[in-house]
Amino acid sequence: MFLEYTGNKRHKYGWIEVVCGSMFSGKTEELIRRLKRAQFAGQKIEIFKPDVDVRYDDEEVISHDENAISSTPVESSGNILILSNAAEVVGIDEAQFFDVELVNVCNQLANMGKRVIVAGLDMDYKGRPFGPMPGLMAIAEYVTKVHAICVNCGSLANHSYRVTGSDKLIELGETNEYKPLCRACFNSGTIK
């Protein structure tokens, strides 16, 4: 949180940071890193994740590298506003799985003077903008796009290619279900 002095008034303001990219690009790792730094600095943090994300743990946010931080699973983005009153820094993982109201929730939190750090997939498995992520990137003060490495050719990967035959938009998975691919390999539709 920053304080801005205007005449004899103090104004508290926050901001929104978005960390986005494909699967296996380090989004959650970066979210955890930023939150642990804030915690080390003595700031009060709260971390949230969608209650549907139970891949590694029901409550903790855990990266593919098995770094973890305690979190609160919530059903909808509106719950984040209710549960983050005392926090100075609010972390949100797997933002693409939340409802589009998450954009307004993050705006409200930042307007209350909170630092909001959001991590999520920017595109779904078909290469389309995913859930509230485009709106979050538009309103964020800071956007960090991270990349994986294409498993086919070694280029920077920005797509999450689904190797299963499912056509459901939301399918939780790992390396057995998804592979990071670059634009060229994704568009060719072939995987080694």
Q: How far is CA 150 from CA 21, 78, 185, 190, in A?
A: 13, 36, 8, 12
Strand partners, 148: 157
H-run or E-run covering 93: none
Strand partners, 119: 19
Catalytic residue among 66, 94, 101, 141: 94
What's the DSSP call for residue 65?
A: T
143 and 46 in contact (C-beta within 8 Å)? Answer: no
- Sequence-separated (6 or more) residues with CB below 8 Å from residue 66: none
- Decide if 94 is catalytic: yes
Token code pair at residue 152: 């086919």
Catalytically active residues, by annotation = 94
